[in-house]
Amino acid sequence: MARRLIAVAALGMMLGACSNPGAGRTEGSAKATAPSSTARTTVSIKAAAAVYAARAARADAVSGAFASEAAGWPLNETGAQAESSASSVIIALQAFVRRMTDTKWPANVTNDVQTLVAAIAPVLVDLRSLGDLADLNDLSPWLQQFADDLTKVGTDAYLVRHDIGLPPVSLPRGVPEADGRLDVAL
């Protein structure tokens, strides 16, 4: 059971590292602003870290709350209940994807951002598929797929962070450790 709870909560850790509080601030800047949707100008490399952090802030907060809730799920929690709990994370991830797509990134960042955005789609499928589970007693196949998909997101986010000059949080592994931890970080 501990392995299941910790692995499901890994989503919160993965997204929580996404915005890395303070990483988007530069000397003299008070707040990151996104480019206007009507005047899509390319974000400078200097501003890209702040924009990335701003895009991730909502997903960060929502995923943290979801991870806390998931850690308390009883084994008789139904898949439908789990999927319902995940709905706020699904919405936050969709908004993150939309905002990342709406931003005009510097040329050296664009491909990695597109790859990150594409990698989030399978995580959304995983979260939506929680409703297909009768209960949460045996999540092994679901957890393995979720871990694989989170690893891909973590790797792609690592590349984006590198491109925009943010320090690495850690290299994602996504493989459950012997103690049940699932190490995934952006």
If one compares 48 and 179, the residue with the highest pLDDT of the two is: 48
- Residue 29's pLDDT is what? 37
Instruction: Output the pTM of the full model.
Output: 0.75
Closest CA to 86 of 43, 136, 148: 136
pLDDT tens-digit profile of 93-116? 999 999 999 999 999 999 999 999
Q: What size, in residues, is the chain?
A: 186
pLDDT tens-digit profile of 138-148? 677 888 888 89
